[in-house]
């Protein structure tokens, strides 16, 4: 009976918005979105589904500031990585139809990808355990400017197959990679003879009544009701465009009204049945046995005691979040046409608090912050060889915090009396080991070990040894490092000169470069023969010293 009632409620949700029951009051939500209101700024749209019924769909701020067009429930947004679940569902449907297997080797469909000596499966592309280097980091490292330079599927398919290495052996680690979803979109095309846009439209969007949703694979196409993207910079709003003609990882165009119908799919499996939803939401398991929160294009988690299926997105000019409560057929979608200002994740959670609070457990106060004495003498600099990343355990006002060496605010460590410690309010954790190492387990669940590292300041000889030109065949680009006084400065194509800041011996961070790390490669005689470059989602890319 409960399943029938839910199905009936979801069917009602497919009716035109004016015929759907509305919440008696939206004042609480209006207050939540107060910072997104006004006629001289971009804003957000929000929709809420309560047990299958659309109870709210509303817009705040401007869809087009110059033209004075307001955001509404049918405003069309670029939703960035919220797109991934729709790409993943397309592959799931093809697998259930017997057109492919999620555990197929990707080279069966993508023979241009190198043989890395390890099999990469479609499933690993979709849950980020394949080790494939991220397309955006590769393009930025090669000199592309996101939001300025047009990026096509062909550009991605030129640079990704040129990579001679992986970030890690497939299945042994997790690292977010947009490349996997672009490759998945290409697989759809090669299996079906249709573009991802065409296949998803016929297999997903039309059956679900998502009439204003499509994968935007033509950057020049005019889309009625489309919002414009913005970034607040230098004291004013600037128009910002995600200049892409590539789909799979991103580029879904949709509305909060259409996403309200997607909640029904996540709860009932209207297309593909419950089995398709189980495939989509099966969490990744590493070779170590660690089970992660990430599934296929979605994260499986909880909020206030309720199981959630969710994903966020962020691209130049846009931010988004979809928060689904599958057990009750409820959910929230928040889409914003600005980058770096709104926080769609928190806006969605606050909206759930206001509109769906009766379905959630009471808010629990976070545990007390860890005192300095609880970590003994463990404060200091730490380095992860696998991530090529540094961080610090710091003591501030007698309390312990963790801070990335790339900058940003400190995250307080919290404890309810034992170990591991929570980082912030969790679910990421940090354990101080007796051997002067740290074990950090991210909110997704993958573990990373950090070792205690010594502070290091390069000498004039160190700087002179690193100065020179370095070329990457994988990217088709040359970098030059110049010794300038007591500093090292990096010169790259299409980028302003950037200072290198030392972290540990022979390792430097690059200012304003996606958290990039440059490490010197030395031969047996100590001569610098090259550098490796890491940029978060790309690890240990070799740039040999140019002649």
Query: What SS3 state is found at 361?
Result: coil
Q: Residue for token digits 């409820």?
A: 330
Q: Is 514's pLDDT higher than 70? A: no
Q: Is 384's pLDDT higher than 50? A: yes
For 445, the domain range is 372-452
The full DSSP string for 183-230 is HHHHHHHHHHSS-HHHHHIIIIIHHHT-TT-EE---TT---TTBPPPE
Q: Is 476's pLDDT higher than 80? A: yes
Pairwise CA distance, residues 237 & 482, whole Å: 35
In tens, the pLDDT along 194-224 reads 999 999 999 999 999 999 999 999 999 999 9
188 and 329 assigned to the same domain: yes
Q: What are phi and psi of 353, to 5 degrees?
A: -55, -45
421 and 471 assigned to the same domain: no
* pLDDT tier at 407, thresholds 50, 70, 90: low
Q: What is the pLDDT of residue 5?
A: 36
Pick the most confident of 229-243, 271-285, 355-369: 271-285
Among residues 535, 539, 482, 531, which one has the least CA distance to residue 507?
Answer: 531
Q: What is the CATH number of the domain that holds 207?
A: 3.40.710.10
Is 82 part of any domain?
yes
Is 329 part of any domain?
yes
pTM, full prediction: 0.93
State how far Cα 404 lies from the chain centre: 18
Q: What is the CATH number of the domain that holds 394?
A: 2.40.128
State how far Cα 546 lies from the chain centre: 34
Mean pLDDT for all residues in the chain:
92
424 and 521 assigned to the same domain: no
Is 491 part of any domain?
yes
More confident residue, 43 or 435: 43
Q: What is the pLDDT of residue 18?
A: 35
In tens, the pLDDT along 411-421 reads 999 997 778 99
More confident residue, 511 or 444: 444
Q: What is the pLDDT of residue 8?
A: 31
Beta-carbon-side half-sphere exposure of residue 127 (alpha carbons within 13 Å):
31
Q: What is the CATH number of the domain that holds 512?
A: 2.40.128.50
Pairwise CA distance, residues 499 & 342, whole Å: 30
Pick the most confident of 20-34, 48-62, 423-437: 48-62
More confident residue, 257 or 9: 257
More confident residue, 535 or 490: 490
Q: Are 300 and 62 in contact (CB under 8 A)?
A: no
The tally of domains found in the chain comes to: 3
Pairwise CA distance, residues 189 & 247, whole Å: 11
List strand residue ranges (DSSP E) for 405-458, in order.
411-414, 421-423, 429-432, 437-441, 447-452
Is 60 part of any domain?
no
209 and 322 assigned to the same domain: yes
Pairwise CA distance, residues 469 & 458, whole Å: 19
Q: What is the pLDDT of residue 374?
A: 93
Q: Are 179 and 249 in contact (CB under 8 A)?
A: yes
- Chosen domain end from 409, 434, 452: 452
Q: Is 525's pLDDT higher than 80? A: yes
State how far Cα 374 lies from the chain centre: 33
Q: Residue for token digits 């297997």?
A: 101
Q: Residue for token digits 């709210």?
A: 56
More confident residue, 184 or 7: 184
Q: What is the pLDDT of residue 494?
A: 86
Query: How many degrees, rounded to 5, is the angle at CA 337 between CA 19 and CA 154?
Result: 110
482 and 343 assigned to the same domain: no
Mean pLDDT for the stretch of residues 57-64: 98
CA distances from 528 to 179, 472, 522 (A): 31, 16, 4
CA distances from 256 to 13, 130, 300 (A): 13, 32, 21
Q: What is the pLDDT of residue 24?
A: 43
Cis peptide bond N-terminal to 111, omega within 30: no
Q: What is the pLDDT of residue 147?
A: 76
Mean pLDDT for the stretch of residues 95-106: 98
DSSP alpha helix (H) spans, 289-357: 344-356
């Amino acid at each position: 009976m409960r399943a029938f009632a839910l199905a009936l409620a979801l069917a009602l949700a497919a009716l035109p918005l004016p015929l759907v029951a509305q919440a008696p009051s939206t004042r609480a939500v209006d207050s939540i979105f107060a910072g997104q209101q006004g006629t001289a700024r971009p804003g957000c749209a929000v929709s809420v589904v309560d047990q299958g019924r659309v109870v709210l769909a509303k817009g705040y701020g401007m869809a087009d500031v110059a033209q004075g067009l307001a955001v509404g429930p049918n405003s069309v947004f670029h939703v960035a990585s919220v797109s991934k679940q729709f790409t993943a569902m397309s592959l799931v449907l093809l697998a259930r139809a017997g057109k492919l297997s999620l555990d197929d080797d990707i080279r069966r469909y993508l023979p241009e990808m190198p043989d890395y000596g390890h099999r990469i499966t479609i499933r690993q592309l979709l849950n980020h355990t394949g080790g494939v280097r991220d397309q955006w980091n590769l393009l930025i490292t090669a000199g592309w400017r996101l939001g300025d330079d047009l990026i096509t599927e062909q550009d991605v398919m030129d640079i990704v197959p040129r990579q001679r290495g992986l970030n890690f052996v497939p299945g042994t680690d997790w690292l977010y990679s947009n490349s996997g979803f672009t490759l998945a979109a290409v697989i759809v095309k090669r299996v079906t003879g249709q573009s991802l846009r065409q296949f998803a439209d016929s297999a997903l969007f039309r059956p679900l009544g998502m009439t204003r949703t499509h994968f935007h694979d033509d950057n020049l196409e005019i889309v009625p009701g489309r919002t414009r993207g913005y970034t607040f910079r230098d004291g004013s709003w600037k128009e910002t465009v995600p200049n892409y003609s590539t789909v799979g990882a991103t580029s879904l165009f949709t509305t909060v009204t259409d996403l309200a119908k997607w909640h029904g799919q996540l709860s009932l499996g209207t297309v593909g049945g419950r089995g398709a939803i189980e495939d989509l939401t099966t969490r990744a398991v590493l070779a170590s046995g660690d089970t992660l929160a990430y599934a296929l294009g979605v994260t499986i988690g909880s909020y206030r005691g309720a199981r959630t299926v969710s994903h966020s997105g962020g691209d130049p000019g846009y931010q988004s979040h979809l928060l689904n409560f599958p057990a009750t057929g409820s959910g929230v979608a928040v889409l914003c046409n600005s980058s770096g200002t709104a926080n769609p994740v928190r806006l969605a959670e606050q909206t759930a608090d206001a509109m769906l609070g009766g379905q959630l457990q009471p808010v629990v106060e976070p545990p007390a912050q860890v005192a300095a004495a609880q970590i003994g003498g463990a404060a200091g600099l730490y380095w992860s060889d696998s991530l090529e990343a540094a961080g610090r355990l710091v003591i501030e006002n007698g309390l312990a915090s963790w801070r990335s060496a790339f900058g940003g605010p400190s995250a307080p460590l919290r404890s309810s009396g034992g170990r591991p410690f929570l980082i912030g309010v969790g679910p990421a954790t940090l354990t101080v080991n007796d051997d002067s190492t740290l074990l950090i387990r991210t909110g997704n669940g993958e573990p990373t070990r950090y070792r205690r590292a010594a502070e290091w300041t390069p000498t004039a000889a160190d700087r002179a040894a690193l100065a020179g030109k370095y070329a990457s065949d994988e990217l088709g680009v040359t970098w030059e490092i110049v010794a300038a006084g007591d500093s090292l400065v990096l010169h790259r194509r299409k980028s302003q000169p950037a200072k290198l800041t030392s972290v540990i011996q022979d390792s430097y961070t690059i200012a304003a470069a996606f958290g990039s790390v440059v490490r010197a490669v030395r031969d047996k005689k100590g001569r610098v023969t090259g550098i490796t470059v890491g940029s978060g989602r790309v690890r240990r890319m070799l740039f040999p010293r140019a002649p």
